[in-house]
Amino acid sequence: MNPFFKKFSEKFIEGLLMISGTVTSLTVVLIVFFLFKEGISVFNKKAVEEGYVIAVNKSNKVNSISPEDIKNIFDQKITSWKDLGGKDSIILFRLEDISTYFTDEQIGENFERLPACISRVVDSIPQIFAFFPEKYMDKNFKGKEIEAGKISFNTFFGGKEWFPTAQPAAQLGAKPLILGTLWVSLGAILLALPLGLAAAIYMSEIAKDKVRRVMKPLIELLAGIPSVVYGFFGLVVIVPAIQKLFNLPVGETGLAGSIILGIMALPTIITISEDAMRNTPRSMKEASLALGASKWQTICRVVIPHSISGITAAAILGIGRAIGETMAVLMVTGNAAVIPHSILEPMRTIPATIAAELGEAPNGGVHYKALFALGCILFVMTLVINLTVEFITGSKKYKKH
């Protein structure tokens, strides 16, 4: 073969391989880019219905109102400006209220004088809280348009209500979802960790080789079953069982999610911690036995301390699995977006929310972006978890040498 061609093709192939090598890095970068681009843009967007404005009297000191307060004003849970830093009670004004202030004639047949009328109402009533379409905003409007329903970090992370399709302002408080995710995942790990560890200890230290050789692939199989199948199993078996057992109105609860997630986290926990334990040097175990320790003492005092970083990694990774799991949770937790008080209530997690709502959220809208912001939270959570695990297992290697 022509040596020049040979060299060229070598280089070409290396280039091709290199490009493939960078695909994963590129993907991660792209994911971060798209996720955060869409997610971050939810902040400073308005939660108020598109095309509507909120205005108050010029004398009013209040300059901005959160989406939650807007909803409370409409629900008459807030009836006084005092709650928002102003004074006097609130007089709510909606477009349909215009007829109490003006006659049809004054407004005009084709609403041509409506903007002026609204302007006059807002100007004349100091306690007014006016909510109307932007198109009826007078050119020289005499009231004060206020920043309303802006989604800030605080309203997003601190808001207690998730109700993205609420009128007049979408309620985008992620707190119930974050808490729901944590509750369900922690519940899962509380169930799975002791069981998983016990099984790992059994498999690595106690079981006969024959038993282990059967058990290990079975447990790996457990990891391969798709999450919808677990969800389905949970739905038809665990949910009704919980309902009966605790005498609940519905069986779709955080507990159902925790149980299913716990089962799903088991293989991760077992395989990783078993690996760690099996890495305990044989001579270290023998040294313990040679000192008159029983096998059980050796497990507790030598094997477990030696593999503690692996065990920790297993636990954290188990939590990570649980936090990111979507379908199974979506199918069994009942998906009520309220701040949880008990594991026996329906709960909703971040992934389940995204899965359930993204299909209905109009592209590019506030809701859509809010779901991407949830995706960002999820991404950061799992990234932190993965880095922590790497740190734990990495520092261990360092220590050994």
Partner 1 sequence: MLKLESKQVNFYYGSSPALKDINLEMESNTVTALIGPSGCGKSTYLRLFNRMNDLIDNTKLTGEVLIDGIDIYKKGINVDTLRKMTGMVFQKPNPFPKSIFENVAYGLRVNGITDKQFIEERVETTIKQVVLWDEVKDKLKKSAFELSGGQQQRLCIARALAIQPSVILMDEPTSALDPISTSKVEELIHELKSKYTIVIVTHNMQQAARVSDHTAFFYLGELVEVGTTKKIFTNPTQEKTQNYITGRFG
Partner 2 sequence: MKQVDENKLAKSKKRKQSLAFFMFGFIGFVIVGILLTVLSFIVFKGVSVISWDFITKMPEEGMTRGGIYPAIIGTLCLVGGSMIFAFPIGVMAAIYMNEYVRDGIIKKIIKQMTNNLSGIPSIVFGLFGMALFVNKLGFGDSILAGSLTLGLLALPVVIRTTEEALKGVDDTFRHASLGLGATKWQTTRRVVLPIAFPNIITGLILSVGRVSGETAPILFTVAAYFLPKLPTSIFDQAMALPYHLYVISTSGTNIEESRPIAYGTALVLIIIVLLTNILANFLRKYFGKKVKMN
CB 147 → partner 2: shortest distance, Å?
28
Return d(Cα 241, Cα 264) in angstroms, integer.
19
* Stretch touching partner 2 by CB under 8 A, among 43-51, 77-85, 102-110, 294-302: 294-302
- Beta strands 162-163; 171-172: pairing state: antiparallel
Across 39-149, where does the E strand assignment appear?
52-56, 64-65, 91-94, 128-133, 144-145, 147-148
CB 204 → partner 1: shortest distance, Å?
14
Binding mask 235-264 for partner 1 (x = CB under 8 A): ------------------------------
Among 8, 16, 59, 395, binds partner 2 (CB under 8 A): 16
- 168: cis peptide before it, omega within 30°? yes
Of partner 2, partner 1, none, which one sits near residue 195, judging by CB under 5 to 8 A according to partner kind?
partner 2
Tell me the one-letter amino acid at 4.
F
Show the tokens assigned to 7.
Answer: 């060299």
The count of chain residues that interact with partner 1, using the rule CB under 8 A, is 22
Backbone angle region of 175, left / alpha / beta, with phi > 0 → left and psi within -120 to 50 → alpha: alpha
Show contacts with partner 1 in window 192-221 (CB under 8 A): 208-209
CB 293 → partner 2: shortest distance, Å?
8
- 285 versus 369: smaller Cβ distance to partner 1: 285
Query: 128: which strand partners?
Result: 91
245 binds partner 2 (CB under 8 A): no
State the helix-helix crossing angle for 366-400 and 350-357, rounded to 10 degrees: 150
291 binds partner 1 (CB under 8 A): yes
Of partner 2, partner 1, none, which one sits near residue 287, judging by CB under 5 to 8 A according to partner kind?
partner 1
* 52 phi and psi angles, rounded to 5 deg: -110, 155
394 binds partner 1 (CB under 8 A): no
Of partner 2, partner 1, none, which one sits near residue 400, judging by CB under 5 to 8 A according to partner kind?
partner 1
Among 90, 107, 130, 199, binds partner 2 (CB under 8 A): 199
* Stretch touching partner 1 by CB under 8 A, among 79-87, 222-230, 267-275, 281-289: 281-289
Of partner 2, partner 1, none, which one sits near residue 168, judging by CB under 5 to 8 A according to partner kind?
none
Show the tokens assigned to 258.
Answer: 């925790």
Among 288, 326, 333, 353, binds partner 1 (CB under 8 A): 288
Backbone angle region of 334, left / alpha / beta, with phi > 0 → left and psi within -120 to 50 → alpha: left
Report in angstroms the alpha-carbon separations of 325 from 102, 181, 226, 230, 328. Answer: 56, 10, 11, 11, 7
Show contacts with partner 1 in window 300-319 (CB under 8 A): 301-302, 305-306, 308
